[in-house]
Amino acid sequence: MARAQSASLDRKKLFGDPVMITTIVVLITFLTLFILYPLAILLVDSIYSPEGGLTLRFFQESFSKYTFIRAITNTLKVGFLVGILSALVGLLFAYVEVYVKVRTKFMGGLFKVVSMLPVVSPPFVLSLSMIMLFGKAGIITRHLLGIYDNNVYGFWGIAIVQTMTFFPVCYMMFRGLLKNIDPSMEEAARDMGASRWKVFTSVTLPLLLPGIGNAFLVTFIESIADFANPMIIGGSYDTLATTIYLQITGAYDKNGACAMAVVLLCITMIMFLVQKFYLEKKTAATLTGKASRARMLIEDKSVTVPLTVFCSMIALFVVMMYICVPFGALFRTWGRDFTLTTRWFEQVFTRYKGFKAFQDSFILSLIAAPITALLSMIISYLVVKRKFKTKGFIEVVSMLAMAVPGTVLGIGYIRGFAGGVFHSGFMQGIYGTGVILVIVFVVRSLPTGTRSGISALRQIDKSIEESAYDMGANSLKVFTSVTLPLIKDSFLSGLVTAFVRSITAISAIILLVTPSYLLITVQINEFAEKGSYGIACAFATILIAITYGSVLLMNFIIKHFGTSRKVKEVE
Partner 1 sequence: MSGTQKKEPKGVRLDHISKIYKNPKTGKDFYAVHDVELDIEPGSFVTLLGPSGCGKTTTLRMIAGFESPDEGEIYLGGEPINELTPNKRDTAMVFQSYALFPHYNVFDNVAYGLKLRGIPKNEIRERVTNILKLVELSDMEQRMTNQLSGGQQQRVALARALVVEPGVLLFDEPLSNLDAKLRVQMRTEIRRIQQTLGITAIYVTHDQSEAMAISDNIILMKGGVIAQMGSPTEMYYHPNSEFVADFIGECNFLPCSVIGREGQDAIAEVYGHPVRVRSETTADGKAEIVLRPEAIEIAEQGQLPCRVELSCFMGSYQNYHVRVGDTLVKIADNCPIGRRIFQVGEEAYISFRSECAHLLEV
Whether 154 contacts 232, CB under 8 Å: no
Q: How far is the CB of 2 from partner 1 (least distance, A)?
A: 7
Q: How far is the CB of 474 from partner 1 (least distance, A)?
A: 6
Whether 287 contacts 177, CB under 8 Å: yes
Question: Strand, coil or helix: what is 426?
Answer: coil
| Residue (172 or 473) nearer to partner 1, CB | 473
Q: How far is the CB of 557 from partner 1 (least distance, A)?
A: 16
What are the backbone dihedrals phi and psi of residue 54, each rounded to the nearest 5 degrees, phi first? -65, 130
Q: How far is the CB of 458 from partner 1 (least distance, A)?
A: 14
Q: What is the DSSP string of 447-516?
A: HHHHHHHHHHHHTS-HHHHHHHHHHT--HHHHIIIIIHHHTHHHHHHHHHHHHHHHHT--TTHHHH--TT
Q: How far is the CB of 571 from partner 1 (least distance, A)?
A: 8
Q: State how far the Cα of 63 lies from the Cα of 56, in Å rounded to an integer.
A: 11
Q: How far is the CB of 462 from partner 1 (least distance, A)?
A: 9
By CB under 8 A, is residue 5 in contact with partner 1?
Answer: yes
| Position among 67, 104, 459, 463 found at the interface with partner 1 (CB under 8 A) | 463
By CB under 8 A, is residue 467 in contact with partner 1?
Answer: yes
Residue 496 burial (C-beta neighbours within 10 Å; 0-12, 13-18, 19+): buried
| Position among 351, 461, 516, 560 found at the interface with partner 1 (CB under 8 A) | 461
Q: What Å distances lie between residue 329 and 132, 509, 526, CA to CA?
A: 11, 25, 16
| Residue (7 or 305) nearer to partner 1, CB | 7
Residues within window 486-525 making contact with partner 1, judged by CB under 8 A: 486
Q: State how far the Cα of 369 lies from the Cα of 502, in Å rounded to an integer.
A: 8
The window from 154-162, 182-190, 325-333, 464-472 that contacts partner 1 (CB under 8 A) reads 464-472
| Residue (530 or 565) nearer to partner 1, CB | 565
Show Cβ contacts of residue 309 under 8 Å, excluding neighbours closer than 6 positions.
none
Q: How far is the CB of 319 from partner 1 (least distance, A)?
A: 39
Whether 220 contacts 80, CB under 8 Å: yes
The window from 2-10, 161-169, 172-180, 252-260 that contacts partner 1 (CB under 8 A) reads 2-10
Q: State how far the Cα of 419 lies from the Cα of 521, in Å rounded to an integer.
A: 26
The window from 3-11, 87-95, 233-241, 492-500 that contacts partner 1 (CB under 8 A) reads 3-11
Question: Strand, coil or helix: what is 53?
Answer: strand
Q: How big is the chain by its Cα radius of gyration, in Å?
A: 25
| Residue (16 or 306) nearer to partner 1, CB | 16
| Residue (206 or 392) nearer to partner 1, CB | 392
**How many CA atoms within 13 Å lie on the side-chain side of 369?**
23
CA-CA-CA-CA torsion sign (284, 163, 502, 238)? negative
Q: How far is the CB of 8 from partner 1 (least distance, A)?
A: 8
The window from 23-31, 187-195, 239-247, 470-478 that contacts partner 1 (CB under 8 A) reads 470-478
DSSP letter (8 states) at residue 352: S
What are the backbone dihedrals phi and psi of residue 331, each rounded to the nearest 5 degrees, phi first? -85, 145
Q: How far is the CB of 7 from partner 1 (least distance, A)?
A: 8
| Position among 204, 308, 312, 474 found at the interface with partner 1 (CB under 8 A) | 474
By CB under 8 A, is residue 6 in contact with partner 1?
Answer: yes
Q: How far does CA 367 lie from the centroid of its chain? A: 19
The site string for partner 1 over 541-570 (x = CB under 8 A, - otherwise) reads ----------------------x--xx--x
By CB under 8 A, is residue 24 in contact with partner 1?
Answer: no
By CB under 8 A, is residue 472 in contact with partner 1?
Answer: yes
Q: State how far the Cα of 423 lies from the Cα of 400, in Å rounded to an integer.
A: 25
Whether 214 contacts 188, CB under 8 Å: no
Show Cβ contacts of residue 378 under 8 Å, excluding neighbours closer than 6 positions.
23, 27, 479
By CB under 8 A, is residue 285 in contact with partner 1?
Answer: no
Strands (E), 285-431: 331-333, 337-340
| Position among 114, 137, 217, 482 found at the interface with partner 1 (CB under 8 A) | 482
The count of residues interacting with partner 1 (CB under 8 A) is: 35
| Position among 355, 470, 514, 552 found at the interface with partner 1 (CB under 8 A) | 470
Q: State how far the Cα of 433 lies from the Cα of 149, in Å rounded to an integer.
A: 44
Show Cβ contacts of residue 163 under 8 Å, excluding neighbours closer than 6 positions.
81, 82, 85, 86, 89
Which helix (H) or strand (E) segment holds residue 49: the answer is strand 48-49
Q: How far is the CB of 14 from partner 1 (least distance, A)?
A: 9
Q: State how far the Cα of 521 lies from the Cα of 232, in Å rounded to an integer.
A: 12
Q: How far is the CB of 4 from partner 1 (least distance, A)?
A: 8
Q: How far is the CB of 356 from partner 1 (least distance, A)?
A: 42
By CB under 8 A, is residue 277 in contact with partner 1?
Answer: no
By CB under 8 A, is residue 17 in contact with partner 1?
Answer: yes
Q: How far is the CB of 482 from partner 1 (least distance, A)?
A: 6
- Give the chain's length: 571
By CB under 8 A, is residue 13 in contact with partner 1?
Answer: yes
By CB under 8 A, is residue 458 in contact with partner 1?
Answer: no
Q: How far is the CB of 15 from partner 1 (least distance, A)?
A: 10
Amino acid at the residue 18: P
Whether 204 contacts 181, CB under 8 Å: yes
By CB under 8 A, is residue 473 in contact with partner 1?
Answer: yes
The window from 116-124, 203-211, 226-234, 478-486 that contacts partner 1 (CB under 8 A) reads 478-486
The window from 128-136, 305-313, 406-414, 467-475 that contacts partner 1 (CB under 8 A) reads 467-475
By CB under 8 A, is residue 339 in contact with partner 1?
Answer: no
Q: What Å distances lie between residue 523 and 133, 319, 445, 509, 517, CA to CA?
A: 21, 24, 21, 12, 11
Binding interface with partner 1 (CB under 8 A): 1-7, 9-10, 12-13, 16-17, 461, 463-464, 466-474, 477, 481-482, 485-486, 563, 566-567, 570-571
